[in-house]
Amino acid sequence: MESTQLLILGTGPAGTSAAIYAGRAGMKTVMLGCAPKFAGDYEIDNYYGFPETISGRELQERGLEQAQRFGVEAVCDRVLGVHFGEKGGFVAKTESGREFSACGLVLATGVSRVRPGVSNLEEYEGKGVSYCVSCDGFFFRNRPVLVAGEGLFAANQAIELTQFTKDVTIVLQGKKSTITPEFMERLSAMNIEVIDAKIETLEGEDGLERALLSNGKTLNAHGLFIAMGQASGNDFAYTLGLERSGVFIKVDNEQRTNMPGIFAAGDCTGGFLQIAVAVGEGAKAAKSAISWLKNECPKNKE
Ligand SMILES: Cc1cc2nc3c(=O)[nH]c(=O)nc-3n(C[C@H](O)[C@H](O)[C@H](O)COP(=O)(O)OP(=O)(O)OC[C@H]3O[C@@H](n4cnc5c(N)ncnc54)[C@H](O)[C@@H]3O)c2cc1C
């Protein structure tokens, strides 16, 4: 377990801006995440201070260099899950198997647009469809469950589900599998089948009972866990019990969530989804996090 004071999830404008402020204030800060979507060869024409435009890539690289100048450690790794630490604070587990603990947490994970494409998904939300194994897995003890997803996030959720039931199947949902050979071996050892098909429709009278697949087959399923792409801020919010509005995390004017020590900034909080706004919110989140770390963080009181 690697320990730091502040953990920032996301290396986009919001996370990087928060990292610059936190690093500059002398906080030991780790930032987790890889290249944000805008960091390609897109012209950014409306960001303050660049009269001749700047590419998303260059703007991002400059921000990252600035954060690193203040001692911030930037780690390109995907976070699979975040939970509360046994002795307080938070623990983030990554795809490469690293674990980071911190007393303060800033969520700056942007907005996820990956949808599973199941026609009547909403009808079964709360009646079998879930987005969080650690929250809802218990309700499906010894019952057949499906996980919709193509990557390590889905594989990890499926493995976590075996604490509750031995009947777990992953459906790739029409995507190309990105599950590594090592994880495929672990899934196979746990009798978790990976099916290359798409769940099209859900069925059941008083809750989910069956899933109809694109290959014409029907699978018995009392639970369906959505784990498409990588874990999103919304997934972390769900696990940590953060208040949300739709897919967005609710924050106050100081970027504080309803949980002490957890702050959120940028697109994951909704509003005007722009770089300038994300940078401003990142700065405010860092200010609140610095105050939390200096004055309220339980570990500092030990
Ligand atoms: C192609 C494109 C062009 C755009 N052009 C403009 C423009 O010209 N002007 C403008 O103002 N805005 C533009 N935008 C919008 C702008 O990019 C966003 O509003 C801004 O990037 C939001 O910043 P953010 O830090 O909140 O999120 P993001 O930039 O989306 O960054 C999210 C970060 O979280 C990380 N992350 C997510 N999940 C995980 C996980 N599980 N584990 C680890 N890390 C994770 C991602 O890897 C990424 O680093 C554009 C967006 C795109 C996609």
**pTM for this one?**
0.85
- Which residues does ligand 1 sit against, CB inside 6 Å? 9-15, 32-34, 36-38, 42, 44-46, 78-79, 108-110, 230-232, 266-268, 273-276, 278
Higher pLDDT pick, 21 / 297: 21
| Protein residue with its CA nearest to atom 3 in ligand 1 | 38
Query: So what's the pLDDT on residue 126?
Result: 81
Ligand 1 pocket: which of 31, 105, 106, 109 to mutate (most atoms <8 Å of CB)? Answer: 109
pLDDT tens for residues 67-103?
999 999 999 999 999 999 988 899 999 999 999 999 9
pLDDT at 300 over 60: no
Query: So what's the pLDDT on residue 37?
Result: 84
Delimit the CATH 3.50.50.60 region(s) of the chain: 2-112+232-301, 121-226
Q: How far is the CA of 36 from the centre of ligand 1 (A)?
A: 5
What DSSP string describes the chain?
-EE-SEEEE--SHHHHHHHHHHHHTT--EEEE----TT-SS-EE-SSTT-TT-EEHHHHHHHHHHHHHHTTPEEE---EEEEEE-TTSSEEEEETTS-EEEESEEEE-----------TTGGGGBTTTEES-HHHHGGGGTTS-EEEE-SSHHHHHHHHHHTTT-S-EEEE-TTSPP---HHHHHHHHHTT-EEE-S-EEEEE-SSS--EEEETTS-EEE-SEEEE--SS--HHHHHHHHT--EETTEEP--TTSB-SSTTEEE-GGGG-SS--HHHHHHHHHHHHHHHHHIIIII-HHHH-
Say which range, 29-33, 254-258, 296-300, has the weakest mean pLDDT: 296-300
Q: How far is the CA of 12 from the centre of ligand 1 (A)?
A: 5
Q: Which CATH class is domain 2-112+232-301?
A: alpha beta
Q: How far is the CA of 89 from the centre of ligand 1 (A)?
A: 26
pLDDT at 302 over 60: no
Q: Which atom of ligand 1 is nearest to the CA of 17?
A: 25
Which CATH number, 3.40.50.2300, 3.40.640.10, 3.40.950.10, 3.50.50.60, labels domain 121-226?
3.50.50.60
pLDDT tens for residues 124-140?
988 999 887 877 899 99
